[in-house]
């Protein structure tokens, strides 16, 4: 199966297929199109497409690609994009709806890339508190922060997921 993610990705793969650049694939191979109205929605489309892989979710800022690139390569799950100022409302809905399946959430870039609001909005959706790990990547730079949250067992979770999700709308 071929999947084109984002407008430019979808266009590139369909053109390459049609022109014979993908010689191992028949030109009639269908291409799944995952193109949202913005980057956040495209990431959500990919998360929904990849839904069996929800044991690990990453969150990165939509305004810069560095954290998303590193985070996407490291999580082995889905990566959601959000504005740096707060959790994207549709991401909150997705996390709340799928909370029982989520094994861990990693927030890439920490508060240097995403405000505390992203973290505090995410915690009640999965019934978790954060664990902060500092990752030294480039000598001389402020180390990026990975905020890693593992949900509590469902029985121990406070009943705040619905309130947190509705507060974000």
Question: What pLDDT sits at residue 117?
Answer: 85
What is the C-alpha to C-alpha distance for residues 119 and 110, in angstroms, rounded to an integer? 9
Cα end-to-end span (Å), the chain:
35
Phi and psi at residue 143, to the nearest 5°: -65, 140
pLDDT tens for each residue of 80-102? 999 999 999 999 999 888 888 88
What is the C-alpha to C-alpha distance for residues 148 and 104, in angstroms, rounded to an integer? 7
pLDDT tens for each residue of 25-75? 998 899 999 999 999 999 999 999 876 667 788 899 999 888 888 888 888
If you ran DSSP here, which 8-state letter would residue 168 be given? T
CA dist 124 → 62, 103, 152, 166 (Å): 22, 14, 10, 12
């Amino acid at each position: 199966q071929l999947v084109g993610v984002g407008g430019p990705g979808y266009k590139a793969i369909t053109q390459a297929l049609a022109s014979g650049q993908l010689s191992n694939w028949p030109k009639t191979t269908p291409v799944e199109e995952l193109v949202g109205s913005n980057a956040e929605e495209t990431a959500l489309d990919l998360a929904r497409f990849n839904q069996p892989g929800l044991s690990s979710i990453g969150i990165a800022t939509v305004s810069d690609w560095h954290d998303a690139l590193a985070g996407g390569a490291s999580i082995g799950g889905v990566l959601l994009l959000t504005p740096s100022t707060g959790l994207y409302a549709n991401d909150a809905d997705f996390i709340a709806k799928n909370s029982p399946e989520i094994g861990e959430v990693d927030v890439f870039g920490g508060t240097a890339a995403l405000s505390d609001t992203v973290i505090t909005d995410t915690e009640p959706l999965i019934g978790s508190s954060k664990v902060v790990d500092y990752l030294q990547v480039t000598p001389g730079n402020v180390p990026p922060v990975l905020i890693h949250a593992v949900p509590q067992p469902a029985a121990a979770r406070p009943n705040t997921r619905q309130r947190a999700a509705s507060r974000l709308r």
